[in-house]
Amino acid sequence: MTSIGIIGSKGRMGHALVNAIGERDELDHAGGVDQDDDLEELLSHSDVLVDFSSPAGLGKRMELCAKAGKPILIGTTGLEPAHHLSIDDAASTIAVLQTGNTSLGVNMLAALVKEAASRLGDDWDIEIVEMHHRHKVDAPSGTAILLGEAAAEGRGINLDEHSERGRDGQTGARARGAIGFASLRGGSVAGDHQVILATDEERIELGHRAENRMIFARGAIKAALWLMKQKPGRYDMADMLGLK
């Protein structure tokens, strides 16, 4: 049996991951840790780790996984440049899959967004609208950023240099070629994302609606099992789905 350890086991995704593991007879839940728990003990019982905890302490977690030689999937959102550097360092020793969303549908959506952005000129404005439950603490969502990066890659531009966020007041006209973001929060929404490509007199709308958090858990488990077969390196869901 394959033993899967969960980092962030007490969160919503942690509980969903336990249920997803329980759906498959060939899998075993190795246990879970949360803040201040003993990750080294969990590593000794796990074949692969899945992390949906907070960004705090990610660097240390990556060091321990690399030291133990255990692959890890990181679904934690709200990462900053320093976190990505620690992921890159660990990926020289172990296989690491980092993603803003583990839904298979969302990652197929990202592929469609990239294709559309690559085919249409910058006279097509791109807006990304996302909505999540009232408890989500980061914005835009990791999925919205994933979709924005797909659009930017399709256009061959840098997202950080061409994104517009948090419009309020007299902002002036929309910049040509910008990728806009809008974040909505409320209720118990698991995750709604819409990418709008709009030009004069026509509009394309591509979207995904998550009806249950289990879609993310099942996608994460599938990706974690795939990751175990990979060489050391940094991967994403597009790699797992063969979209590259």
Q: What does the block give as tokens for 35?
A: 């803040």
**Residues 132, 162, 193, 208: which is the catalytic one?**
132
Q: What angle do CA 34, 81, 228 make, to 5 degrees?
A: 55
**Residues 15, 133, 136, 222: which is the catalytic one?**
136
Rounded to the nearest 10 degrees, the angle between the axes of helix 214-227 and helix 104-119 is 80
Spatial distance between the Cα atoms of 170 and 162, rounded to a whole number of angstroms: 19
Catalytic annotation present for 132: yes
Spatial distance between the Cα atoms of 41 and 51, rounded to a whole number of angstroms: 15
C-alpha atoms less than 13 angstroms from C-alpha of 237 in its C-beta half-sphere: 25
Spatial distance between the Cα atoms of 25 and 57, rounded to a whole number of angstroms: 32
Catalytic annotation present for 67: no
Determine how many CB atoms are found less than 10 A away from the CB of residue 129.
Answer: 18
At residue 8, what are phi and psi to the nearest 5 degrees? Answer: 90, 40
SS3 62: helix
Residue at token pair 């593991």: 21
Residues with a known catalytic role: 132, 136
